[in-house]
A = this chain, B = another copy of it.
Amino acid sequence: MSDLATALDDVQDASQPERFSTALSQLSDLFGERFSTSHALREQHAHTTTWLKNQPPDAVIFALSTEEVAKAVRICSAHQVPIIPFGTGSSLEGHVNAPSGGVSIDLSRMDKVLEVNSEDLDCRVEAGVTRKTLNSFIRDTGLFFPIDPGADASLGGMAATRASGTNAVRYGTMKDAVLGLTVVTADGRIIRTGGRARKSSAGYDLTRLFVGSEGTLGIITELTLRLHGQPEAISGGVCPFPDVQSACNAVIATIQMGLPVARIELMDSLQVKACNAYSKLELAETPTLFLEFHGSEASVREQSETFSAIAEEMGGGPFDWATLAEDRSKLWAARHDAYWAGKSLKPDAQIMVTDVCVPISRLADCVSATAEDIRSEGFLAPIVGHVGDGNFHVQILVNLDDPEEKRRTEAFVERLAIRAIDMGGTCTGEHGVGQGKQKYLRREHGEALDVMQALKQALDPGNVMNPGKILPQS
């Protein structure tokens, strides 16, 4: 880092505005038309999805290659200008905000699938490729990429936030899907982590250090990803339960039996009601599990039958087993539209969405206590969850322009995060920390948070990589 140290010496006496204007001018020269300071573009490149304030960067650049990202990082690092990586902007906790200003590096034009190795079930993509683009690209190979967080997010962004979603109970999260990364570090070096071997014991697991680091340790520019064979058969269906407790008990029994369920999703009664209205379904308005099984024809039938027996034993059912592709698509479309269905319950409201994750044995307790909290606050707030992992979301329909309602919403989110942590869980199962969940990290991690701070200090001593995210400012 001695080159950088020298560069820092040169600029250390410059004022913040001078440093920023020098860096922006150099970036403008380098990126030409792909550099912009337009107000609309800057706002669009900051946080737009929840209650968190929109904090635009000073400029946006569109990178076309890892080398360009490295050049931009070197300029920004040398002038102590923050760098905020941007994929599609679908994150929910303020990851793309620029609280100290700086430059948003938009990676969406790095959208090439670089190689697909069908024999090895892996592929290499640029960070801006979205999950749907990848799946379209590889459809004919008989393979698919399973991680599905809902939004058509960029794969770089999904790795950065350790995204997961409905399929994680069977196929894991981005932590499991990423075999290797190309990363630009704070000093502008390009490193490659991991590799194409299915496993390795050759040194520290840098891949998983960068996965989930939200751009605070480096910028992911390429990913090597695990793919899976498209299942020969898929079946699925919905199963009503009299209450959340019995639905959760069915989930626990399913997981404990080792039934290789591909998706197992909970909707509470309010969410089912919203989906009925929004997606023209006629489901019983009671806590409901949505399930999907992947395997051979015989195996998905067997899995469905086994689950059906479990559901009955737990007081639920009947399990409506829809093997027809169109029926299944309709059900899962409804599940995927749960957010919009929820919104339609109160079209003029804003939406605040949060997630937590607890050990499955505490899931019913955590969901029930949260439902009680919702009732006592008088919120309209459907619950939906990836319950095979103990992960659930609450979507609160509120008027955030009313300071008192905003305060009450924030206090509710805080109680939920603390409830989950105190049950041995985590303040976020898949949305990430960003700006929104920083204040819970000390409670969740204790002194391990100091180790995270030490890693940040080691890899980004100038604090230029997405500052103000994950780690609370000291």
Spell out A's residues near B (CB within 8 Å): 117-122, 142, 161-164, 168, 172-173, 175-176, 185, 189-193, 195-206, 208-209, 211-213, 217, 228-229, 231, 252, 255-258, 260, 295-296, 298-299, 302, 306, 357-361, 388-391, 420, 424-433, 437, 440-441, 444-452, 454-455, 457-459, 470-471
Measured between alpha carbons, how far is A208 from B207 in the docked complex, in Å? 9
A255 to B121, CA, bound (A): 8
**Assuming the A-B contacts A191-B448, A458-B458, are A200 and B119 also in contact, with contact meaning beta carbons closer than 8 angstroms in the complex?**
no
Q: Which of A252, A430, A452, A471 has the most CB of B within 10 A?
A: A452
Q: Besides A189-B447, A457-B458, 6 other CB < 8 A contacts?
A: A197-B426, A204-B470, A205-B212, A229-B257, A451-B459, A454-B459
C-alpha spacing A249/B432, complex, angstroms: 41
Specify which of B204, B208, B357, B360 is in contact with A455 (CB 8 Å cutoff).
B204
Q: Give the 8 A-B residue pairs with the shortest CB-CB distance, closest first.
A: A458-B458, A229-B258, A200-B426, A119-B361, A208-B208, A197-B357, A191-B448, A198-B389
User: Within 8 Å CB of A228, what residues of B?
Assistant: 258
Q: Please report the C-alpha to C-alpha distance between residue A229 and residue B260 in the assembled complex, in whole angstroms.
A: 11
Query: Are A175 and B208 in contact, with the CB atoms below 8 A?
Result: yes
Complex interface: chain B residues within 8 A of A162 (CB): 199-201, 205
Contact of A458 among B200, B298, B425, B454 (CB under 8 A): B454
Q: Is the CB of B459 within 8 A of A199?
A: no
Contact of A199 (CB < 8 Å), options: B173, B193, B200? B173
In the complex the two chains form, what is the Cα distance from A117 to B424 in whole Å? 12
Inter-chain contact A204/B426, CB cutoff 8 Å: no
CB contacts (< 8 Å) of A459 on chain B: these are 451, 454-455
A327 and B163 CA atoms in complex are apart in Å by 44
- Closest approach, in angstroms, between the C-beta of A197 and any C-beta of chain B? 4
CB-CB nearest in chain B for A175: B205
Most interface-central of A204, A360, A425 (chain B CB within 10 A): A204
A429 and B201 within 8 A (CB): yes
Known contacts A203-B212, A208-B208, A209-B204; A446/B192 CB under 8 A: yes
A433 / chain B contacts, CB cutoff of 8 Å: 201-203
Instruction: Identify the closest chain B residue to A431 (Cβ).
Output: B201
With A and B bound together, what is the CA distance between A252 and B198 in angstroms? 13
Cα of A192 to Cα of B256 in the assembled complex, Å: 26
Q: Determine whether the beta carbon of B202 is less than 8 Å from that of A427.
A: yes
Indicate whether A452 sits within 8 Å of B203 (C-beta atoms), given known contacts A120-B361, A260-B260, A426-B195. yes
Pairwise interchain contact B212-A209, C-beta atoms closer than 8 A:
no
Give the docked Cα–Cα distance between A469 and B428 (Å): 35
Question: Do the beta carbons of A445 and B203 come within 8 Å of each other?
Answer: yes
Complex formed: what's the CA distance from A444 to B229 in Å?
Answer: 29
B-side contacts of A211, CB under 8 Å? 205
A117 smallest CB distance to B (angstroms): 6
Given A360-B120, A445-B203, A195-B430 contact (CB < 8 Å): no
Contacts A/B (CB < 8 Å), 9 sampled = A119-B361, A162-B201, A190-B447, A192-B446, A195-B425, A196-B359, A201-B212, A202-B437, A454-B458
- Contact for A452 among B206, B256, B388, CB less than 8 A: B206
**Is the pair B357, A200 in contact by a Cβ cutoff of 8 Å?**
yes
A202–B426 CB distance below 8 A: yes
B204, A252: Cβ atoms closer than 8 Å: no
By beta carbon, the residue of chain B nearest A445 is B203
Once the chains bind, are A252 and B437 in contact (CB under 8 Å)? no
Which chain B positions have C-beta within 8 A of A168?
199
Contact of A231 among B200, B205, B258 (CB under 8 A): B258
| B contact residues around A471 at 8 Å (CB) | 203
